[in-house]
A and B are shown apart, each in its own frame.
Chain A
Amino acid sequence: MADSAAEARIDQALVARALLGDDRRAFEQLVRRHQGMVRAQLCRLLHGDAAAADDLAQETFLLAWRKLDQFRSEARFSTWLHRIAYACFLQACRTKSWAARHAQDDGMEHLPAPARAMDLQLDLARAMRHLSTAEQAVLLHCVQLGMSHDEAAYVLAMPLGTVKTHATRGKAKLKTWLAAWHGAANEERVP
């Protein structure tokens, strides 16, 4: 918590330097500090399309540079960046339809029984793709990127209650689809 507050203060100082002195090196520091998570966020949203994620991440940082004077300290700088990145992703989806390209139509009533531990990760990735776009986005931001529900609501421009509902529903679906793994794990434990 203290680390996160210190990081936020460093970001604010860098933003102030970038704005007041038109300091490009301060903005470069901000890019270096946050590019990793922004690209990871976009890569996940685009189902692993790293090239497209990099294009959108670049667009995100160029937008952040242009709109830096609109940054208010009501959210952390990293959260503000993730919000811009998500808006860029939605815009790209409207024009390029990644969602349609990655859509799969195989059934997901229950995934097959486990073979190896590695398969669990593959099944989880497959199950994630069968969640609704909103559920995927909420689980990505709340669980994998470690945001609070409030921060996720800010990034995704959703009401807080909707974020909580999507998180609960998404996890419930994953539990149902991955139930075979739990049963098999129990059987392995029984002599």
Chain B
Amino acid sequence: MNTIHDDNIDALLRQSFDGPVPDAGFSERVMQQLPPRRRPSTWPLAAGVVVGAVLCLLSLHTSPLWRAGWHGWLVGEWSSSTIITLSMMAGMSLLALGWTLAEADDH
């Protein structure tokens, strides 16, 4: 039976492949064309953090829960408002930490 096996086809294809092309000045030409790297600007992130913090403070400033929690924390009294406020802050901090670690891991 006149059959060609897959291995024969693979071998033929590999034989017909010339392999890597010699450099012959290609890398130098590429390096001459390389543009300077643009640094990602950090001001949008910083501005976002500041604006977010200010808006958060403004919205919480008039909240009775925040006021009661803050007052309780200042006088050392562990009221439910204090515990809720501190738990929320701890939760937000943990989320930010997790996000930062995930980003650092990707890089």
Chain A residues with CB under 8 Å of chain B are 19, 22, 24, 27-28, 31-32, 35-37, 39-40, 43-44, 50, 53-54, 57-58, 61-62, 65-66, 69, 72, 120-121, 124-125, 128, 139, 143-145, 171, 174-175, 178-179, 181-183, 186
Cα(A57)–Cα(B29), bound, Å: 11
Interface readout for B25-41 with A: 1 if CB under 8 Å, 0 if not?
A: 01101110111010010
Instruction: From B8-16, B49-57, B79-87, B92-100, give the one contacting chain A.
Output: B8-16
9 closest pairs, A vs B, by CB?
A36-B20, A144-B17, A39-B21, A183-B2, A143-B13, A175-B4, A31-B27, A32-B27, A61-B30
Do A27 and B21 contact each other (CB < 8 Å), given the known contacts A72-B106, A171-B9, A186-B2? no
| Additional pairs, 18, CB under 8 Å, beyond known A31-B30, A145-B17, A183-B2 | A19-B107, A24-B34, A40-B18, A40-B21, A50-B21, A53-B21, A54-B26, A62-B30, A62-B33, A65-B35, A66-B37, A124-B16, A144-B16, A171-B10, A175-B4, A178-B12, A179-B4, A182-B3
CB–CB B9/A35 < 8 A: no
CB–CB B26/A139 < 8 A: no
Q: Does B48 contact A (CB under 8 A)?
A: no
Residue of B nearest to A139 (CB): B13
Chain B residues with CB under 8 Å of chain A are 2-4, 6, 8-10, 12-23, 26-27, 29-31, 33-35, 37, 40, 106-107
Q: Which residues of A contact B18 (CB under 8 A)?
A: 40
Residue of A nearest to B34 (CB): A65
Residue of B nearest to A173 (CB): B9
What total count of A-B pairs have CB within 8 Å?
Answer: 95
CB–CB B2/A182 < 8 A: yes
Cα(A43)–Cα(B22), bound, Å: 13
Do A44 and B23 contact each other (CB < 8 Å), given the known contacts A27-B34, A120-B12, A175-B9? no
